[in-house]
Structure 1
């Protein structure tokens, strides 16, 4: 093959192809676990060819981080101020679905951006939130307008966080309906009658191993697992760094212990919640209340478990993924009992939408557990399930 024929077969949009492939790898594996070699292989080029487009992994990651939000901003700016909320949300749904396999990096991996890049990304998402808030305020005026807008976007963004296979048109219908219900809900009115929640008591570190775990969780949550050193963990406990290894073979074993603790606490919360319910609708309401309470109560632990699982080796991740699936199956079963028209995949998609509401609404509230906030978020969760 001549140089001219090779050039003729080279895609003109090679850079965009690289960005899309890299976004999928970063989303699935995490920024630190992903490699330029893996990304290059996914595109079908050599690592050397990849470096001709991007000088390093960070430069590629930073461009990936702006891909979906730039499209969201562009789509929003195409609609006039008087556009209907339904039309605008549908446009946002379609952009998000088109980035389904790469959009997951926004929720957790964007924290690895440098400060200036993170501020730019935050400003772009802020523009999206403010525009949707304006539409919510116009069509559904009332309390918590911005929170409802954020929660509706959380329901839409949830599609990037799971792999449930379902026809695209049905995905769009379900996400749009879920987001509209969230936007239209008056949390204060809907929250009346929220069932009481009895969470398991947080673990009390009674051993040095427990103290290490308790110290590591907030560090992982704040800085990301990859950025925390054993020395920092040891300092928080008052140990020499070498002493950590007497209790955990490595830092990853501390992370696994944190994820297992999160799964166990959530399973206990579900068991206590379902023990006293009498019908499926009550069960769904109770599951929503328990999950919201759990996320507020154990926010650092929950964020670590959700953000870091993807970067674990397959053998360590498998039991955690199984526990995740068992939890979702409980929701799915109860939701389908209330809404028998849903098939299992549709119910699963709505359950993930509800989880997306909790994450984004909780973040918007900075997880500050003021009176009534759990009830407000719970009301938005049940709205996402279109109940």
Structure 2
């Protein structure tokens, strides 16, 4: 009996290896920038072999989008219904950290799913949020358990949005503690407990270049950078498509300008509000309130900057990465003064956890900008940092 040498050496879990490799590529490069050739190379097979498992890139993407949330649902289904928040959040954290490299596609890239697939994914995530909410309601009598559950999951999910190198057990312990800090916070809407901050005024588009940028940002936020055409942007401004090129050589230049504007507005806000603050704890309260206010005030701009930066060339991305690192360094310095038991990497992980809280809590509140919502989310951020 003859044996096909290719079949004999083909690993039985090849489909799973493909999904893992694809999840990493989609997370790091974005859906549109990722290629089947790059994914197949990550598995060590030809593109033709990859197409034997998945007919096209979208089918592979949709599969990747479901795999991690299915793991979360499965691990929670294994727990007894009476499991406390620490056990529930610990189970979620282990899955998130184990599959850290592939988790980034959920925050922004899932918007490229077709409507039916996106609705299914949301239903699965709703089950995860619901299970955490139930655990919190048994443990804490305070209102707002669903908001705290979503925010706690945001703190955990933040591990996929950065590359801080830290041992798995160590980061799991840190993230569980952060998520429990969020879960135990009492963000009563309208409490007025957050620091009072001011933001720079939204730039008024006084030039044609600024008008183009202002028109492009909401389109990018709604449809994604790749799907928006120069013709759509020109129509929104009232220009002929060819006129765009007199102000921006190509569409990528508009995106870079949007990202730089987002970074500049945040830096100005931090400088303005931290000016007279001397105590580290007060500084963290101001930073949390500023970041929350900025995120609610400039939701479209910040979502574009965070979602689309992964698709930029390295040379275009570097100034934006430097700006982010400078911003995080301000938080890190103050957090280490308040919590000297942390090391710099732990502090950095917690700062990112705070950012993750803002994204998921903001989404849960539909980014409805009210003083009460800002106060509530700022309290959750402080909880993520381990500050009562």
Q: TM-score band, normalised by the shorter chain? A: over 0.9
Q: Distance in 2 between matches of 1:371 and 1:84?
A: 32
Contact 1:190 1:379 in 2 (8 A): no
Q: Contact conserved, 2:192 with 2:372, CA < 8 A, in 1?
A: no
Shift in Å, 1:8: 2.1
1:30 aligns with 2:34: no
Deviations 1:161-205 (A, max 9, x none): 111000111101110011011111111299654221011111110
CA separation of 1:356/1:116 partners in 2, compared to 1, >3 Å: closer, same or farther? same
1:93 aligns with 93
Match of 1:143, SS?
coil
Instruction: Give the number of aligned pairs.
Output: 386
Cα offset for 1:93? 0.3
TM-score of the superposition, structure 2-length normalised? 0.98
Contact 2:189 2:375 (8 Å CA) reproduced: no
- Structure 1: unaligned runs, 5 residues or longer: none
Q: Which residue of 1 aligns with 2:351?
A: 351
What secondary structure does 1:34 align onto? coil
Gaps of 5+ in 2: none
1:143 counterpart residue number = 143
Between the aligned partners of 2:272 and 2:173, the Cα distance in structure 1 is 34
Q: Secondary structure at the match of 1:228?
A: coil
Distance in 2, matches of 1:191 and 1:19, equals 46
Contact 2:189–2:376 at 8 Å: present in 1 too? no
Moved over 6 A (4+): none
Q: In structure 2, do the counterparts of structure 1 residues 189 and 170 end up closer, same or farther at CA, with 3 Å as the change threshold?
A: farther
Q: Deviations over 1:202-224 (max 9, x none)?
A: 11100000000000001101111
Task: Name the CA distance, whole Å, in 2 between partners of 1:49 and 1:68.
Answer: 24
The residue aligned with 1:126 is: 126
- Aligned partners of 2:47 and 2:193: how far apart in 1? 58
> Would the aligned equivalents of 1:62 and 1:117 in 2 still touch at CA under 8 Å?
yes
Does structure 2 conserve the Cα–Cα contact (< 8 Å) formed by 1:152 and 1:179?
A: yes
Distance 1:312 1:91 in 2: 34
Q: Does 1:21 align with 2:21?
A: yes
Answer whether contact 2:280 2:335 (CA < 8 A) is retained: yes
In 2, distance between residues paired with 1:190 and 1:322?
36
